[in-house]
Amino acid sequence: MASRKESSSASSTPMASTGGTLDSPVKQIQIEGLVVLKIIKHYQEEGQGSEVVQGVLLGLVVDDRLEITNCFPFPQHTEDDADFDEVQYQMEMMRSLRHVNIDHLHVGWYQSTYYGSFVSRALLDSQFSYQHAIEESVVLIYDPIKTAQGSLSLKAYRLTPKLMEICKEKDFTTEGLKKASVGFENMFEEVPIVIKNSHLINVLLWELEDKSTVSDKHELLNLSSSNHLEKSLQLLMDRVDDLNQDIVKYNTYSRNLSKQQQQKHQYLQRRQQENTQRQSRGEPPLPEEDISKLFKPPQAPPRMDTLLIAGIINNYCQNVKEFTSQNLGKLFMAEALQGHN
């Protein structure tokens, strides 16, 4: 039923407008239905509201296709068991799975998201470390809210090689980003997903579809959109605020910088003048001094956060655009239907 459609929709809507060359070792991701269900189940059992659930993806790289065959969740650790060792848990978990002859290769991790606000520093860092260690690692983002609206939202992302470079060098300055020509657009590359089910399951699904009632099918036609939009706008606004702050920060920085440049310039000029005077008097010129010591350049604000915020905003916008376009269609359809009736 829905799952089949979703799978198709999921695969048919590659969200990332990746202009990237996709020269990564993974060109496609094939997810077992089991993994999808497990992730959904995990969220439904443990996730609540804006809470995020995470887990480990297991699978195997076949050619340029990453096959994710299984996963296991990270337990929701609270403040009480701070000494919980995630690594230990993972290793044991994988060992156990190997014992029962399940794919035990670590190929990434998954995370739920709230209105697509997944692009964060934490995600970037952990994905970087994954990708650094296991080249083919992906992060699977599951959006439960969109899923609840009737369209399964599951996306796989990888860091672009450029970003990997920057992250490796930890160079988040304006210059660094400029040199790597990394924008919010090409921070992540989205890898197309294919959900693969066994034939038996496909058969079962077909059968179930026949038995389903019409009401079940009209979920998609829900016209009430304001809630989702409002939330999105709210989040968008928050991010815009953040961005605004960053810009102000950058503004002051650049102003300070220019001021300093001016001072430096003046200083140099004065020095030069003096030197020429001294030369005319036959005195030795003043020794060159380290100007950088005299004028310590102000600390440049790290641009990575700004980049990430921009990324989030981008996501939001995409979400809103997608949502509104769908809704518009629905509204027109509804109008037409009304007019017809």
Partner 1 sequence: MSRFFATGSDSESEESSSADEITPKAPGTTFKQSLLLSDDEEDTKRVVRSAKDKRFEELTNFIKTIRNAMKIRDMSKCLEEFEQLCRAFLKSKNIVDKEGVPQFYIRLLADLEDYLNQLWEDKEGKKKMNKNNAKALSTLRQKIRKYNRDFETEIAAYKENPQESADEEEEKEQEDSGSSSESDDDDDDVGEEVSAKSFLKKKPEGPSEASKFLKSAKGSGDESTSSDEDDDDEDWGGDTEESGSESSDDEEGKSKSLATVFLKKVAGADKTGIKKGEKKKKQKKERGGDLQEGEGDEDGWEKVKGGVPLVKEKPKMFAKGTEINVPVVVKKLNEILQARGKKGTDRAAQIELLHALAVIAAENNLGQGILVKIKFNIIASLYDYNPNLAAFMKADMWKKCLDCIDELLDILFEHNDIFIGENIAEDSENLIISDQPFRVRGCVLTLVERMDEEFTKIMQNTDPHSQEYVDNLKDEGRVCGIIDRLLSYLENKGSTEEICRVYLRRIMHTYYKFDYKAHRRSLGLQGETKVRQGHLPSAMSRFFATGSDSESEESSSADEITPKAPGTTFKQSLLLSDDEEDTKRVVRSAKDKRFEELTNFIKTIRNAMKIRDMSKCLEEFEQLCRAFLKSKNIVDKEGVPQFYIRLLADLEDYLNQLWEDKEGKKKMNKNNAKALSTLRQKIRKYNRDFETEIAAYKENPQESADEEEEKEQEDSGSSSESDDDDDDVGEEVSAKSFLKKKPEGPSEASKFLKSAKGSGDESTSSDEDDDDEDWGGDTEESGSESSDDEEGKSKSLATVFLKKVAGADKTGIKKGEKKKKQKKERGGDLQEGEGDEEGWEKVKGGVPLVKEKPKMFAKGTEINVPVVVKKLNEILQARGKKGTDRAAQIELLHALAVIAAENNLGQGILVKIKFNIIASLYDYNPNLAAFMKADMWKKCLDCIDELLDILFEHNDIFIGENIAEDSENLIISDQPFRVRGCVLTLVERMDEEFTKIMQNTDPHSQEYVDNLKDEGRVCGIIDRLLSYLENKGSTEEICRVYLRRIMHTYYKFDYKAHRRSLGLQGETKSEQDQEESEGEDSAIIMDRLCKFIYAKDRTDRIRTCAILCHIYHHALHSRWYQARDLMLMSHLQDNIQHADPPVQILYNRTMVQLGICAFRQGMIKDAHNALLDIQSSGRAKELLGQGLLMRNMQERNAEQEKIEKRRQVPFHMHINLELLECVYLVSAMLLEIPYMAAHEFDARRRMISKQFHHQLRVGERQPLLGPPESMREHVVAASKAMKMGDWRTCHSFIINEKMNSKVWDLFPETQRVREMLVRKIQEESLRTYLFTYSSVYDSISMETLSEMFELEIPTVHSIISKMIINEELMASLDQPTQTVVMHRTEPTSLQNMALQLAEKLGSLVENNERIFDLKQGVYGGYFNRDQKGGYQQKQPYQRDQKGGYQQKQGGYQRGGYRNQNQSNY
> Which stretches of the chain bind partner 1, using CB under 8 A?
226, 229-230, 233-234, 236-237, 240-241, 243-244, 247-248, 250-251, 254-255, 258, 261
Residue with Cβ nearer partner 1 (11 or 149)? 149
Report DSSP state, residue 184: S
Residue with Cβ nearer partner 1 (149 or 254)? 254
Q: Which residues contact residue 273 at a Cβ distance below 8 angstroms, ignoring those fewer than 6 apart?
A: none
Q: For the CB of residue 175, give the shortest distance to partner 1 in the complex, in Å.
A: 14
Q: For the CB of residue 268, give the shortest distance to partner 1 in the complex, in Å.
A: 16
Q: What residue type is 160 in one-letter code?
A: T
Q: For the CB of residue 240, give the shortest distance to partner 1 in the complex, in Å.
A: 5
Residue with Cβ nearer partner 1 (60 or 243)? 243
Measured CA to CA, the distance from residue 174 to residue 282 in angstroms comes to 45
Q: For the CB of residue 113, give the shortest distance to partner 1 in the complex, in Å.
A: 21
Q: For the CB of residue 237, give the shortest distance to partner 1 in the complex, in Å.
A: 5
The burial class, CB within 10 Å (0-12 / 13-18 / 19+), for 9 is middle
Q: For the CB of residue 98, give the shortest distance to partner 1 in the complex, in Å.
A: 45
Q: Are 140 and 110 in contact (CB under 8 A)?
A: yes
Measured CA to CA, the distance from residue 245 to residue 316 in angstroms comes to 19
Counting every residue written for the chain, the total comes to 341
Measured CA to CA, the distance from residue 3 to residue 15 in angstroms comes to 19
Residue with Cβ nearer partner 1 (317 or 334)? 317
Q: For the CB of residue 212, give the shortest distance to partner 1 in the complex, in Å.
A: 33
What is 48-64 written as a DSSP string? -TT---EEEEEEEEETT
Residue with Cβ nearer partner 1 (234 or 276)? 234
Measured CA to CA, the distance from residue 157 to residue 214 in angstroms comes to 35
Residue with Cβ nearer partner 1 (78 or 224)? 224
Measured CA to CA, the distance from residue 112 to residue 208 in angstroms comes to 28
Residue with Cβ nearer partner 1 (221 or 247)? 247
